[in-house]
Chain A
Amino acid sequence: MKKKFKLEDLDCANCAAKMEEAIKKIDGVNDANVSFLAQKMTIDAQDGKFDEIMKEVVKVCAKVEPDCKILV
C-alpha cells in the first residue's frame, strides 16, 4: 500500500535525504520517498502493518529531524 503524507517545517534537503534513508530501513517498508521540494513523503509499506510502521516512521523522523512534523 502506498500513502502520501504532507510534511511541515522540513527545512533542510540533507535532512530529507537522511529521513528517507532511515525510513527505508524500517522493517516492512518497501519503499519511501521524502521530497524536500514538494514537502511530501510517500511511503510504500506492507498492508497489514501500515499503522504500526507509520508509528515507527514518526519516531524515526523525530530522531533525525525533530522540527519536522508529519501530518497524518
Chain B
Amino acid sequence: MNKKQKKMLVRIVIAFVLFAILFICEHTGLWEGIEHTWILFVIYLIPYLVIGYDIIFKAARNISHGQVFDENFLMMIATFGAFGVREYSEAVAVMLFYQVGELFQSYAVGKSRQSISDMMDICPEYANIEVDGKLTRVDPDEVEIGSIIVIKPGERIPLDGVVVEGESLIDTAALTGESVPRKASLGDEIISGCVNGSGTLKVQVSKEFDDSTVAKILELVENASSKKARVENFVTKFAKYYTPIVTISAVALALLPPLILGGGFGEWIQRACIFLVISCPCALVISVPLGFFGGIGASSKLGILVKGSNYLEAVAEMTTIVFDKTGTLTKGEFKVQEILPEGCDKEELLEIAALGEGYSNHPIAGSIREAYGKTINMNRVGQAEEIAGEGLRVPVDGKEVLLGNEKLMKSSGIAYKPCESLGTIVYGACERKYMGAIVISDSIKDGAKEAIQSMKQVGVKKCVMLTGDRQQAAAAVAGELGIDEVHAQLLPGDKVSKVEALLGAQEGKEKLAFVGDGINDAPVLTRADIGIAMGSMGSDAAIEAADVVLMDDDIGKIAAVVKIARKTLRIVKQNIVFALAVKALVLLLGALGLANMWEAVFADVGVSVIAIMNAMRALKITK
C-alpha cells in the first residue's frame, strides 16, 4: 500500500468506528428523545465528512472545471439525496462502502500493475566498465559502441555485444521463454536483457542502449496498450454514452413519476440516487484494458511479443496461417544431402565440384565447399566462365569441368542421367564425360511438424505454404508437415498477391496470419491481418514490420499465443457481460424500488473489484 492508500485506510477505520457507535445508538432507541432532526443531521454529518470530504471537494472543483459527470459528483449527489430524504445512516454507509471499494480497487490495480511490470523486469540497471583496472558501474545509457564491459556471474546483460573474453552459460528465459541456458564464448553475440550464468564475460558493446534489444522490447511492450482492440474501443464508446444516459434517467426518475402520479418526491429521489451510484462505467473501463495487458504480458513471458491488444484479438480469430517456407518451416541452411557419382567415387566428384565452385559466392557453392570440408588449393583452378541460368565452365587441373543444372548438360550435349531427388541438383562433367550429380537441399526444422499439428488442434483451419522453390520439392515438404495448400515457384512479388487472394477468400471475422523470417517479406508481413516474424534475436526489420514476434524463432509457440489470446478475449467478454448484467439488473430493481443503496454500491465498486480480479487471470499462463 502506498501513502495515499494508508491514509485512506485510517480514514475508513475512524469513520467506521464513528458510524458503528451511531448505529448502536440508533438501534438502542437513544435517538427517540431527540425532537429536532437537524441534530441528527449534524451528528451523522461528522462521520460523513471524515470519510467523504475529499469526494465533495473534488466534485465541487470538477464542476467548476466543467467536468460534471464524474464519480465524485455522482456520489455526492447520491448521498446528498439520502440526507435530503433523512436516510442519514444510509448516506454515511454508502459513502463508507464506496470508499472501501475504491481503496480495494486502487490496491488491486496497483498490485496487477506491479505483477505485470515485474514480468517485464528485463531492464538492466547498470553496466560495469573497466577503467584503469578498476570496475565502475555506469548507466547503460552512457556506454558507447566499442567499449568493453564486464558482466559478472548472475548479472543482467546491459547491452548487446560480442564476447571478447570468458565463457559462460546465459539464461535467455526473460526474452525467449526458453529455459535451457545458451552457451556463450569468445566471438559469440549476446543480447541485453538476458542473465549471465556462472562465468565472467568481457563483452565489446555493439549497439547503444537505445538500439539494444532490451530497450526495443520494452518500448514495444509499453506501446502495445496504445493499439486498442475492437472490444476496447467499444468499451470506450459505451462509457461515453452510458454515464449521461443513466444520469438523465435518474433525473427523470426523480421528477416525472411524482409529477405525473402525484405523491412525495422522497421515494423517487432515493431511487434516482441508486441510478447515480451505478452510473460509472469503471468496472469496464479498468478491467478490459487490464485483461489485454495481462494477455500481452503472459505472451511476452513465453517469448512472444504481441504489439497491441488489437493483434491479440486478431490472433484469437485466426483461422488461416500462411508460412514462408525457407527459414520458417525449414532451417534455411542448404546442405549437400546426396552425392550420386557416375563412373567415379563420391570423393572425386565432390572434390571437383568444390574446386570448380571455389570462387563462387552462391549459397549452393558454399554448401558444396562445406561438404568437401578440406582446404581448396585454388592454384589448381583456372578462370571460370559463368553461363547465365545454367552454371559454370571452369578448368580444373587443366581439364574442362562443367557444373550446373540440366540445361547446361543439355546445351553442352552431355549424356547425363536425370536425377529425381528433391532439392537443388548440380550436375558435373569433366572433359565432356558425365561425373554425376550432387543434391543440395534445405532441411525441415525440428518440431515443425508438431507445431503445425498443435496449431490445427487449437482451431487453425488452413495452413498454407508459399515458396520460390520448385513444385516437387515444395510438395514434398508440405506433405511431410501436413500443410493443406502449397503455392510454389513464386517470385518475391507473387507472395503479396497470393496472400491478398487468400485474404479475399476469408469469411466474416476470420483472420489470416503470415509467418516469415523477416528477410524479404516485410511487405507480406504488413499486408496480412497478423504478421508473425521470427525475431532471430535482434533482426530489426522483422521486429519492426511484424505484429507478433517470436523471439526464439519457434513456430511451435504460435499455438500457445492463440490459446493466450482466446483466454484473454474470453475473460474480457466475461467481464463485459458480468458488469453490464449486474448493472442492468440493479438499475431495473432500483427503478422498481426493489434495490437499496447497498446493492447499488456493490454494482459499482464491487463489480469493479471482481472484474479486476478476473482480468488478472489473463496474466497466468496455462499450457
Contact = CB atoms under 8 A, between A and B. Distances in A.
A29 to B, nearest CB: 14
A14 B65 contact: no
B151 to A, nearest CB: 28
Interface stretch (B162-170, B222-230, B322-330, B583-591): B222-230
Contacts of A15: 70
A17 B228 CA distance: 12
B286 to A, nearest CB: 4
A37 B4 contact: no
Given A14-B239, A42-B223, A36 B289 contact: yes
Question: Most chain-B CB neighbours within 10 Å: which of A13, A17, A39?
Answer: A13
A2 to B, nearest CB: 10
A38 interface: yes
Given A12-B71, A14-B282, A63-B66, A38 B61 contact: no
A64 B70 CA distance: 10
A38 B293 CA distance: 10
A70 B46 CA distance: 35
Contacts of A12: 71, 282, 285-286
Contact of A37 (B61, B66, B223, B290): B290
A38 B239 CA distance: 21
Interface in A1-52: 9, 11-15, 17-18, 33, 35-40, 42
Contacts of B422: none
Contacts of A38: 113, 222, 225
B280 interface: yes
Given A11-B106, A35-B226, A17 B65 contact: no
Given A14-B280, A63-B67, A66-B58, 9 more contacts: A9-B4, A13-B289, A14-B71, A14-B239, A35-B225, A37-B109, A37-B289, A38-B225, A66-B61
Given A9-B4, A13-B289, A14-B280, A33 B226 contact: yes
Contacts of B428: none
10 contacts: A14-B239, A35-B226, A37-B109, A37-B225, A39-B113, A42-B226, A63-B65, A64-B65, A64-B67, A66-B61
B: interface residue count bin? 20 to 34
Q: Which 5 A-B pairs have the closest CB atoms?
A: A33-B226, A13-B286, A13-B285, A63-B65, A14-B285
A67 B4 CA distance: 12
A36 B282 CA distance: 12
A12 B283 CA distance: 11
A5 B6 CA distance: 26
Contacts of B285: 12-14, 17
A37 B226 contact: no
Contacts of B61: 66
B303 interface: no
A15 B116 CA distance: 21
Interface in B262-276: none
Given A9-B4, A14-B239, A40 B65 contact: no
Contacts of B4: 9
A65 B374 CA distance: 73
A49 B162 CA distance: 42
Contacts of A40: 222
B236 A17 contact: yes
B613 to A, nearest CB: 15
A65 to B, nearest CB: 9
B65 A66 contact: yes
A15 B282 CA distance: 10
A66 B62 CA distance: 8
Nearest to A39: B113
B29 to A, nearest CB: 42
Nearest to B293: A37
B116 A37 contact: yes
B239 A17 contact: yes
B281 interface: yes
A36 to B, nearest CB: 7
Contacts of B236: 17
A44 to B, nearest CB: 10
Interface in B106-134: 106, 109, 113, 116
B99 to A, nearest CB: 13
Question: Most chain-B CB neighbours within 10 Å: which of A36, A40, A64, A66?
Answer: A36
A33 to B, nearest CB: 4
Interface in B56-90: 58, 61-62, 65-67, 70-71
B362 to A, nearest CB: 43
Contacts of A64: 65, 67
Nearest to B281: A14
A17 B282 CA distance: 11
B119 to A, nearest CB: 13
B222 A36 contact: no
Interface in B217-242: 222-223, 225-226, 236, 239
Contacts of B226: 33, 35, 42
Nearest to B64: A63
A17 B226 CA distance: 12
Nearest to A63: B65
B113 to A, nearest CB: 6
B591 to A, nearest CB: 24
Nearest to B608: A13
Nearest to A22: B67
B113 A37 contact: yes
A35 B286 CA distance: 11
Contacts of B66: 63
B286 A36 contact: yes
Nearest to B289: A37
Contacts of A17: 236, 239, 285
Nearest to A34: B226
A67 B290 CA distance: 22
